[in-house]
Amino acid sequence: MFLMKIAYDNIQFGNQRYRPNMNQKKRQKPVCAAELDLAQGAVLVMFGSKTCGVCKVIWPQLLAALKSRWPELQFRYIDCENDPQCCAQNSVFSLPVIRLYFDGRQYLERIQVFSLGPFVDEVDRLCEQYDWPGIDSSGIESSGTDQQ
């Protein structure tokens, strides 16, 4: 026979009694690596894995394509095998996921299969709209003023 009595802070299941420990401290939520330093500037975050073949190919190509054009852009790589809670907190359930943030707000996201060329063009367009200091197509740093 299953008996359940609830009295204030006692819970009884059959003949076993459970008491919640009110002195236990709540566990602090671990700080997700992707939440660090997203508040200011432009940050490109990639969620990947050691076992993801696409991630291994895309990340170096992405760095090479964007670091030369946008040297001030920050890059973050989150390994979902080492930090699965972070990936789950950011709703990452398939790999790779690449997100572009400006001042903590997400402006661009690509998931799984995408072409690298159009993605780099979109990042360029967004960085220009954001007025991010970068290098123009001639390789000369842009100063923000146009000469006429």
CA atoms within 13 A on the CB side of 116: 13
In 3D space, the residue among 25, 22, 24, 18 whose CA is nearest the CA of residue 7 turns out to be 18
What's the first-to-final CA gap in the chain, in angstroms? 91
User: Is residue 108 assigned to a domain?
Assistant: yes
Three-state secondary-structure class, residue 83: coil
Q: Which of 3, 34, 6, 38 is nearest to 20 (CA)?
A: 6
22: in domain: no
Residue 73 lies in a domain: yes
> Does residue 143 sit within a domain?
no
Per-residue pLDDT of the chain (148 residues; tens, 9 = 90+): 444 444 444 555 555 555 555 554 444 444 575 456 677 788 899 999 999 999 999 999 999 999 988 888 889 899 999 989 889 888 899 999 999 988 888 999 999 989 999 999 999 999 888 876 665 544 444 444 444 4
On whether residue 25 sits in a domain, the answer given is no
- DSSP lists the bridge partners of residue 78 as 47
Q: Give the domain CATH number at 54.
A: 3.40.30.10
Angstrom distance (rounded) from CA 117 to CA 89: 29
Sign of CA dihedral 116, 60, 31, 100: negative
Nearest residue to 73 via CA among 108, 100, 105: 100
2 found inside a domain: no
Number of domains, the chain: 1
pTM equals: 0.67
Query: Residue 77 belongs to what domain range?
Result: 33-129
- Is residue 58 domain-resident? yes
37, 74 in Cβ contact below 8 A?
Answer: yes
